[in-house]
Structure 1
């Protein structure tokens, strides 16, 4: 199965989760507006997959109260509101600009009265009052927590008895280019991924953790697990092109030191919107990624 959503490459939650989810390097680029744009593009491109995850959740009854941990600009929040029309969502994030963006999107969608915004550092020992939700959604956020085991225990205690936690994690940064691209540096994207994986191994140590085991240790009963492969074939839409260009630009800071001069030159040529070889002129772009979701219940 798959999922949607997307946080910076820092080992804390002070930048917001969905940016980190896709590996964007916000330690070196703190342009909040640019981050928000990428998050919105991610949400638009993967909206169908996010909806498929919310539809799959094994809810016993329709929830009335949902908490979105690390809500970003609202991809999960808005998808959950569409999936559960009687629900209210408490959207939690540490980024004020992202919460502002979510508020504007909720108003535009006519659901502002069903969203409560809470700015909070989820690594803090104590959380603000979040009520007793029947569903907690954590998309690409848990692996950025300083102590995800403690976070899971906090979520367990937060949930109403019988409530469900949905954990969504992705296998890695999305791929956009054919394997033999670009012509002057075939396989460049895979080398960037390898460099990004090394970067994450140092800065995001919980990425790829045994989430089923951690959920069980925190007192949850894991009811279901599903992996969804996302493959959006070419030709790319204008949104996919913007998504690919923005996403690859944002990981450049993390991978550049590990690339050869030739690879870095080839990457910069791809990222140059004015170059005939640049991403905006490619008709072979496709979005490939893989997301896994765990549904775990508080007994």
Structure 2
């Protein structure tokens, strides 16, 4: 994708251990909220991959699994598949293991702590490799793709998904005297065009099966978790905005992300979720 500083990834590293623990906990919560709020999109995506697969997958590998958004969605759709989840963070893998156990999926989901920048672990051959919002964080993504190619059986499928832009939640007039605030927030942090993985896939030996953007447009009313999801996303954006917006806009944004204030995003019943995520589906010949 791109170098957008607002993105979440299980491949970030941190200097301070206390800060790392806090960062990991916040990232885990955001990833789990993303999975909960965007479940309709995940169902659509996994169903589409099922249509493209030449047979029912028996083994799936999730690259940069985080707390298991992809791994759990894939086990739900492909009911006979075992999933190997690869991630650098033992804390995130522990959360995934707890969720898999609670869902009765412990026998089908296995986590392996690994740094894919150092190479692939030894794994059994897979039918499907899933890489969602992780590949662009790799030091050498082409080498990771080559490893995916080697791991897949002939005819197996690779799915690379990237977020085209951070989700948007608010109407244009949010009642704090700053119409268009969210649009200005996103414009200030616009990182430019996303990476197109098509050529990278070809260099690794894959044949592109399809490239599909998934427009996520979830109308109100949405589940209660949406408020917290929106708050965390805007807080993450806020941490990169100093010097990019006017003082009035910053004050209005602070009022929106404040948990207790009268304009808090947690109090709104009119939230929507609007974003686009693109998936490249490529096959090993």
- TM, length-normalised to structure 2: 0.89
Cα deviation 1:173-206 (Å, max 9, x = unaligned): 00001123354222221221123224xx6xxxxx
1:105 aligns with 2:81: no
1:171 aligns with 2:168: no
Match for residue 209 of structure 1 among 181, 187, 195: 195
Cα deviation 1:76-104 (Å, max 9, x = unaligned): 10111111111111001111111111000
1:76 aligns with 2:73: no
- Structure 2 unmatched ranges of 5 or more: 14-18
| Pairing of 1:215-230 with structure 2 (within 5 A) | 215-230=201-216
Distance 1:243 1:143 in 2: 23
1:184 aligns with 2:181: no
- TM, length-normalised to structure 1: 0.85
- Structure 1 unmatched ranges of 5 or more: 1-6, 17-26, 202-206
Which residue matches 2:34?
Answer: 42
- What is the RMSD computed on CA atoms of the aligned residues? 2.2
Distance 2:22 2:184 in 1: 25
Which residue matches 2:228?
Answer: 242
SS at match of 2:55: coil
Tell me the matched-pair count.
275
Tell me: CA distance 1:10–1:289, structure 2 relative to 1, closer, same or farther (3 Å).
Answer: closer
* Residue range with higher mean Cα deviation, 144-153 or 130-139: 144-153
Distance 2:143 2:8 in 1: 15
Distance 2:69 2:11 in 1: 18
1:118 aligns with 2:112: yes
CA contact (8 A) 2:256 2:265 kept: yes
Match for residue 162 of structure 1 among 155, 161, 170: 155
SS at match of 1:37: helix
CA contact (8 A) 1:11 1:144 kept: no
Cα displacement (A) at 1:170:
1.6
